[in-house]
Amino acid sequence: MRSIIVLAMFLSTCAATARAADPVFPSSAGDIAVETVARGLVHPWSLAFLPGGRMLVTERPGRMRIVTRDGTLSPPLAGVPPVFVRGQGGLLDVILDRNFVNNRAIYFSYAEPFDGGGRTALARTTLDAGAAPRLTDVKVIYRQHGPASSGNHFGGRIVQAGDGNLFLSNGEHFSDRDMAQTLDNDLGKIVRITPEGAAPNDNPFVGRAGARPEIWSYGHRNPQGLAINPADGKLWQQEHGPKGGDEINIVIAGHNYGWPLVSHGVNYDGTPVGTGKSRMAGMDDPAWHWTPSIAPSGMTFYTGDLFKGWKGSLINGALKFQLLSRLTLDGDRVVKEERLLQGLRERIRDVRQGPDGALYLLTDNSAGRILRLVPAK
């Protein structure tokens, strides 16, 4: 009897150890271990790395937190302005200023309450990361021009270029899709502004009558990924299509990306989008598209050495398909896709490369996590 009890205890311990082990997934770079860095986040949306190993994380319900290396969550930071939390609206992206070490400045995007709904806004603030972390000197430097959204298609991704100027993606609010093709509003646009919120003089529509000077590109649906390719400085973007037709685009000043006149997808009821065509003269074709839709969100160019053969790849998170998509590039061409973490069964909202060369993911649900991807031992 005693030997049976000992055996049962041993098997129970083994089972608990197996449950606690980091899951491992195959890849072209060898097996990948998925480590949990932090738990207990509610619909986390964006991740930024602070000096010293801590992380800054946004939660869509309107909270920003600092996360330590051991996964401890700070209380919500004071100073976050009122946020419109409905549908896809809430607190969205966050990035550090390129000169953060000296100026402690960060930028964050959010759905701002407006006219009974919400609109995309971008704020600059100073991060006080001391014993009681808080945001100080919060200044809204950009507000989307156009009607309010009832809760859909805010875009909201931010990236800072080498010259210090900021790019911000704006969705077309779903119900206002036709406005993506007109230049008197910011819906369905990527805008470019200075750190103070002004439109740079070399923006493509500066001086054009009836056009917003902050617009950089137009004809977008709901862009939720932005990244600058460190190899050549070009801006890449991904956006949600309708039913099919999620896109990867190389964003060029003044160019039209077609929505809602052309698409590789169809409307949710199966009817054709716009002209029913996938391309038209004067509109840029995507560098890559997904049909059926994977619902991409969050992207980064991998520049590290941890994963053999991945340097220069474009890594994309997927919400609907709950996976990681790695795209191999040849210049501006996407030549191959590798789908990773199939079986993880979690919506991947953001993807970032850490200072250690590992990939960090945010899972988008009410019990969201920060995950760290490293080669399995």
Residues 106-151: tens digit of each pLDDT: 999 999 999 999 999 999 999 998 888 999 999 999 999 999 999 9
pLDDT of amino acid 20: 58
| Residue 11: closest CA among 23, 1, 19, 377 | 19
Residue ranges per structural domain of the chain: 23-375
Among 43, 153, 220, 289, the active-site one is 153
Q: Tokens for 210, please give them.
A: 């009836």
How far apart are alpha carbons 113 and 242 in whole angstroms? 26
Fold for the domain defined by 23-375: Neuraminidase (2.120.10)
Number of H helices, E strands in the chain: 2, 24
Count Cβ atoms within 10 A of the Cβ of residue 25 and give its class: 0-12 exposed, 13-18 middle, 19 or more buried.
middle
pLDDT above 90 covers a percentage of the chain that reads: 93
Q: What 3-state class would DSSP assign to 232?
A: coil
pLDDT of amino acid 8: 40
For the chain, report the end-to-end CA distance as a whole number of angstroms.
38
Average predicted confidence (pLDDT) for the chain = 94
> What order do you get walking across the sheet with 189-193 strand by strand?
158-160, 166-169, 189-193, 215-218
Compute the average pLDDT of residues 262-270: 98
pLDDT digits (tens, 9 = 90+) for 219-228: 999 999 999 9
Known catalytic residue at 255 = no
DSSP secondary structure code for residue 144 in this structure: -
Residue 5 predicted with pLDDT over 90: no
